[in-house]
Each structure stands twice: as C-alpha cells, then as structure tokens.
C-alpha cells in the first residue's frame, strides 16, 4: 500500500502504482482488502433528504446529470423539446439527483425547453417520493443568471449553476481579466443569484485542473461567503490523471475556508480516457456530487459516463470505496442509454463498458465454457442489474403469427417499456417485416424500435417511395409524403443514384434548403434480408444558431435522423425525413417564441 501523511495545508501520498492504487489511497478510513471478485447484487439504499449544502449521510453520492446540457453540445446531438422532456423524465425515473436541463441563455428554444422540464419533471414525484433538482447553466453575468432563473424557478427544487474560468491561460487569452476581477465577478454573480430568490447555487471555476491551487482556494472561499452551496471542480480539458485530480479535491477540502458548509462536486472530461477514473478518485477524496452524462456524451471526447461511474460504485463501493453509494435505480440504465443514443443519433460503440452491445457477450471458447459452468466466472455484474435480460431466457421466439403481448414481453426483455400507441405502431412495423423475413432477431427489434418510437414529432411522414435505377440512365424517384394536416404531396426527381433522387424529391415537397453533412448505413444483422439502419446529419442553409456555453461563440445547430427498413432507399428516406422533422420542429418552436417575446435570442 501507499504511505499517507496529512497536515492542515496539504495531503500527500506515495502509491506504488499511482494509476491503479489511487482509489485506495485518498481516504485514510478505507481499510485494506483482498481482491476477491464476487458477483454483485446490490439493493438501493434510502436516499437522504435533500438539503442544498448538506448531505446527512457522508457516504451518499449525488448524481448530477448534464446530458441535456453538456451532452447536447456534441456535434449533431441537438434534441427537440419533446425529446429533451422524454430524456428528463427518464433521468428522473433513473433516480438522478440533479438534472442540468440546459443553458437557457443560449437561445429562446433552450430557455423554453428548460422551463418545460422544470414545470413537468421538476414537480413530478418518482420512486420513493424522489423529486429531482432542475438546474440551469449560466455564465457569470446578470443576463445569463436571469434567464436561468426564469427557466428553473418553476421546479420544486431549482438550482442555478454559474461558472467563470480560473486558469491563467483562460483568464489571459479568453477573459482578458485579472485574478482580482475574476474573483469580484464570481462573488458578485453568486450573490446576485441568491438575491433573486435561488437558494441553491452551484459555482464552477472553469479549467480548475490547470488553475493555480492557491488561487482556487481563495476564489472558492470567497464564493462560499457569497452564498454558493455546491463547488464543482471541473477538469475542463481532461488534462489530469486520477492521482493528480484526487489530490486536487483533497487539497481543496483541506485549504478552502468554509468548505465544510458546502458540497464538493466533480466534472471530468474524457480527453485522455480518464474521466471515470478521475471522477472516482474525486469521490474517494471527498467529493459528494459527481457530474456525468448518459453514454459519456459531451464536448470533444465526452464526459464521465453515468453508467460507468454508478456501476463502479455499486460493484466496488462496499469493498474498496469506503461504502460510497448512489440513489440510482440501475435497472433503468439500459433504457436511458438507448433513448439518448436514438434521440442524439450518437451510436454507442459495441465494446462500451456497461451498455455496449458486447458488454455481456462471450465468444471465446474458454469464456463460454466458464459461463456455462458458472456465470460469475466471467461477469462481475449481471446484465439484469442494468435492465437487460438475456436473449431467449423467456423462451419467446417472435414470428409473423406473434401477437402484441408477445412483442411487448420481448421488448421488456430487451430493456424497453412500451405500451399504448407506441406498442401499436411498433407492432405493425414488426408484422410488416415478419412477413418478409423468416427470423426476427433482437437487433431487428431494436432497429425497428429506434425507427418507430424514438422519432421526433412528425411534420412530414413518408407514405410511399418508388425508384428506378441502373446503368442505363439517370436514377429516378417518386416520393409521397403526408403533412401534419393529413394532406398528400407527391414529387418526382432524378439524381446520380436512387438515394440522391429520393432526397431531391423530398426537397421539392418540403422546400427547405439543407446541407447533408453525413450519411452512413449499416446492416443490423447478417444475411441478404438484413434490416438497413441509416443515420444522416443535416444543417439548414438559413442555419439555426445558439451560443456555446463555454466559449460564447455562435454555433450552427445540426440535426440528426435515423431510419430502418429492409429496403435501403426507404431506410435512407426515413432517416432524412426524421432529420428534417427535428429541424422543422425546432424552427416552429423558435418562431412561436419569437412571436410571443418579440425577438428571439440566438
């Protein structure tokens, strides 16, 4: 083990292997353990009563999810208001303590989305009486803070999260401010947030991982005096390693005046692939709020992944992490992951920890032999823990004669809870595929679920498409679309190929110029009768813009769409129309807010 020494101003330790021993070294009360790996079946412990600046149970970790804010900054991850509301509801069901619903000052559309989430999700009551905190991000200026408060004040537990950069490189080149000016701005804006009625204010010193530690202690102490209830320590550019980041948290706790009266939080980016390790190191060093995103999506290389952090605490919390635990209902992890994947269009890589397609797959003969003898030989957690039931355990094999109840049971086995109209729509799509394909696989069902259920509210709906193509002439396409009023529109076009011709025919009907930025297609399963899954990314030529939270730059929004069908042209057109619907829904909301407010902030 490492040797540890503590004094009032610094905590130092010398691990033999810093990267692997860090988590054992930060908390002196953590005993030494042998590393036997039993299978974990943890039950959810009671969630402590919420007080902004205090947690009654010192072992409880608050989970702060920023999928709807930082996660949506990923290129092409723009979500409609309905999609954001769906994700927020799912996060509440998952048991997330704080939902950062967006950056209200970035645009009127974002403000309205955060406001809607505050009203609906922020006043809902979920399992065991849980009501999530709804948070809005704001830079350190009155306009941003006013917008954030305007949006979140409708929630039972509203929070404003304000930030300003504290590293030398940011203060010199981005802010062009002195240290004293930064301290004055931070303290005055935290005090302002409290003065307008918000009793729960989080402050973040942006780029804390590269900031001078003594300056950090000073500015954090001052914002505590001004009324901050949570201090979030961001590794904004993913620069630190676990030993270093854990030491930073420990030193902040040891040297910041008044730190015992606030909650310490972490926010770790994944630029070096260390976001989960850094987050856990921060927790072991005393942080009691961890900022994460579903599937780890976010700026550049992404953020610490909620599923990785939560399952690490669940699997190893009692053994080596000092008894740390969360209030997350892990059986909703898979559904949350799938929803975010489909709404953002950001696919999860197969080998992604916890939620990847291969996370519980065993192909090696040695591994398969061990699994047949005892599942614990090669699995440290059960797929059921995250809401995934193993294929075929229910004995349900779907075909063209299967009914709704069988389909619903199978989808529940795959982690999807659907009913009502969603089930009806999926059932008819399933039946149409089952008539053409003898064997319906789990991957086929997941693709159909994505195409039928996880779609934006339709402005245009595909009715029919017919193409003619080959080497003897130009490809032609005829497309029939139905608008929101039920009226049919038909158009024909030629193109360099069947997809190009079909897209041009759609453009003639929709009459909105867009640029196709990305187009990709994958076969969902093997075989000539496989379902094709298509993803597109578009940008309107009269581009929708918003303000980037960290840089303040104007960024052009892009919109993704997905489609699935056994016909590659139909799959492609579905994806294109999905992206157009998302963009047009966003435009309608923006126009509505512009008319109501007189002008839109973009």
Q: What's the average model confidence in pLDDT over 329-353? A: 92
**DSSP classification of residue 375:** G
pLDDT band (50, 70, 90) for residue 473: confident
Model's pTM, two decimal places? 0.79
Q: What's the average model confidence in pLDDT over 83-87? A: 94
**pLDDT > 90? residue 65:** yes
- Residue 592 has a pLDDT of 65
Q: Is 579 left (phi over 0), alpha (psi -120 to 50) or beta?
A: alpha
Contacts of 178 by beta carbon, 8 Å cutoff, 6+ apart:
171
d(CA 534, CA 573): 9
Alpha helices in 330-374 (DSSP H): 333-344, 365-373
Of residues 14 and 459, which shows the higher confidence score? 459
580 HSE (CA, 13 A, CB side): 25
Average pLDDT, rounded, for the chain: 86
pLDDT band (50, 70, 90) for residue 17: very low
Residues 312, 333: contact at Cβ < 8 Å?
A: no
- Residue 446 has a pLDDT of 83
Backbone angles phi, psi at 117, to 5 degrees: -65, -40
- Residue 355 has a pLDDT of 93
pLDDT band (50, 70, 90) for residue 450: confident
Of residues 73 and 482, which shows the higher confidence score? 482
Q: Look at 129-133, 177-181, 287-291, 419-423 and tell me which has the smallest mean pLDDT.
A: 419-423
d(CA 357, CA 586): 32
- Residue 43 has a pLDDT of 43
Predicted confidence (pLDDT) per residue in 527-570, tens digit: 888 899 999 999 988 766 667 666 667 777 888 898 999 999 99
Sign of CA dihedral 311, 315, 319, 325: positive
Separation in Å, CA 257 to CA 262, 283, 381: 11, 20, 41
- Residue 34 has a pLDDT of 42
- Residue 504 has a pLDDT of 96
pLDDT band (50, 70, 90) for residue 89: very high
Q: Look at 44-53, 366-375, 575-584 and tell me which has the smallest mean pLDDT.
A: 366-375
């Amino acid at each position: 083990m490492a040797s540890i020494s503590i004094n009032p101003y610094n905590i130092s330790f010398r691990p033999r292997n810093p990267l692997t021993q860090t988590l054992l070294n930060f908390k002196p009360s953590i005993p030494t353990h042998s590393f036997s790996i039993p299978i974990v079946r943890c039950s959810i412990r009671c969630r402590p009563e919420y007080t902004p600046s205090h947690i009654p149970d010192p072992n409880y970790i608050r989970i702060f999810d920023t999928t709807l804010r930082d996660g949506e900054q990923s290129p092409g991850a723009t979500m409609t208001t309905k999609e954001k509301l769906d994700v927020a509801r799912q996060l509440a069901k998952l048991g997330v303590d704080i939902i950062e619903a967006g950056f209200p000052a970035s645009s009127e559309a974002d403000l309205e989305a955060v406001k809607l989430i505050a009203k609906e999700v922020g006043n809902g009551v979920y399992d065991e009486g849980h009501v999530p905190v709804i948070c809005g991000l704001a830079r350190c200026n009155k306009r941003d803070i006013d917008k954030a408060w305007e949006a979140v004040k409708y929630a039972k537990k509203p929070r404003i999260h304000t930030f300003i950069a504290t590293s030398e490189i940011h203060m010199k080149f981005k802010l062009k401010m002195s240290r004293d000016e930064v301290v004055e701005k931070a303290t005055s804006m935290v005090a302002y947030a409290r003065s307008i009625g918000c009793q729960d204010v989080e402050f973040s010193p942006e780029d804390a991982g590269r900031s001078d530690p003594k300056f950090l202690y000073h500015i954090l102490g001052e914002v505590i005096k001004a009324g901050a209830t949570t201090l979030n320590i961001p590794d904004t550019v993913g620069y630190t390693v676990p030993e270093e980041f854990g030491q930073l948290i420990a030193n902040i706790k040891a040297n910041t005046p008044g730190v015992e009266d606030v909650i310490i939080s972490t926010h770790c980016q994944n630029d070096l692939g260390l976001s989960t390790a850094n987050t856990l190191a921060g927790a072991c060093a005393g942080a009691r709020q961890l900022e994460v995103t579903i599937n780890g999506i976010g700026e550049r290389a992404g953020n610490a992944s909620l599923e990785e952090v939560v399952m690490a605490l669940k699997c190893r919390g009692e053994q080596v992490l000092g008894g740390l635990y969360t209030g997350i209902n892990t059986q909703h992890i898979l559904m949350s992951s799938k929803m975010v994947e489909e709404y953002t269009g950001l696919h999860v890589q197969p080998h992604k920890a916890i939620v990847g397609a291969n996370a519980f797959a065993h192909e090696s003969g040695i591994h398969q032999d061990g699994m047949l003898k005892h599942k614990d030989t090669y699995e440290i957690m059960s797929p059921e823990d995250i809401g995934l039931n193993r294929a075929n355990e229910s004995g349900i094999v779907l075909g063209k004669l299967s009914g709704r109840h069988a389909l619903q049971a199978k989808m529940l086995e795959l982690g999807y809870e659907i009913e009502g109209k969603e089930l009806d729509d999926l059932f008819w799509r399933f039946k149409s595929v089952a008539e053409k394909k003898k064997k319906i696989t789990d991957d086929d069902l997941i693709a159909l679920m994505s195409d039928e259920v996880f779609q934006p509210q339709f402005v245009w709906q595909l009715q029919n498409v017919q193409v003619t193509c080959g080497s003897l002439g130009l490809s032609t396409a005829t497309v029939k679309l139905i608008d929101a009023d039920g009226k049919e529109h038909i158009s024909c076009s030629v193109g360099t190929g069947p997809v190009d011709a079909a897209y041009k025919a759609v453009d003639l009907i929709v009459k909105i110029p867009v640029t196709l930025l990305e187009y990709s297609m994958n076969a969902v399963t093997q075989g000539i009768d496989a379902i094709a899954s298509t993803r597109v990314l578009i940008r309107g030529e009269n581009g929708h813009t918003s303000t980037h939270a960290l840089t303040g730059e104007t960024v052009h929004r892009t919109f993704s769409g997905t489609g699935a069908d056994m016909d590659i042209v139909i799959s492609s057109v579905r994806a294109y129309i999905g992206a157009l619907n998302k963009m047009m829904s966003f435009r309608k909301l923006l126009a509505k807010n512009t008319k109501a407010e007189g002008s839109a902030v973009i």
